[in-house]
Homo-oligomer: A and B are copies of this chain.
């Protein structure tokens, strides 16, 4: 195989979830598409690096500082929703249930991986809590997400601010018979009066 091809396979293999076989398939796909298409992809990769950065307030991804959330006078400044990653924001926005601000942790606490509170944006979060009435912790319902939620709840409740967590339970349209027992347990524990 020719060198530029090996080079591309090597670079593609560095992407998460892309092994040597997938990288080879992708590289050959890129060889087949038009030069225009390849240029668009190549430029799009450089563009995100050149034009985007993290908002200095909420640490979401933005092309201006402060970002369009932090800068929007119509957003409810008394409610902050905490997420692990910037890509967790769009799905929450699509629900139209949260009209407040966001705060991106850029990870979760993980003693095993050596991620402590200082490696996340927690200091910066604590500094923006003045006037905030509710912090909604929207970390993932896994071990690290839960541990991070508990840690944040302890810190923030100490300031007399309400801390809430997303409800976990059966998905809408789900079937009790096919719901795993952990989810069903959460669903029961979080039951509401009708």
List residues of chain A with CB under 8 Å of any chain B CB.
1-5, 7-8, 10-12, 14-17, 22, 24-31, 33, 35, 37-52, 61-63, 85-87, 89-90
Contacts and interface: CB of A to CB of B under 8 A. Distances in A.
Task: Work out how many copies of this chain go into the complex.
Answer: 2
Given A25-B17, A38-B49, A87-B24, A7 B44 contact: yes
B5 A48 contact: yes
B31 A25 contact: no
A17 B25 CA distance: 10
A93 to B, nearest CB: 9
A37 B51 contact: no
A1 B60 CA distance: 9
Interface of A is mostly: helix
Contacts of A63: 2-4
A177 to B, nearest CB: 27
Contacts of A37: 14
A30 B16 contact: no
20 contacts: A2-B61, A5-B48, A7-B47, A7-B48, A8-B44, A8-B45, A11-B41, A12-B41, A14-B41, A15-B26, A15-B29, A24-B87, A25-B87, A28-B87, A31-B52, A31-B61, A38-B49, A41-B45, A42-B42, A42-B43
A48 B90 contact: no
Nearest to A8: B44
Contact of A8 (B17, B22, B48): B48
Contacts of A26: 15-16
Contacts of A28: 85-87
A89 B22 CA distance: 16
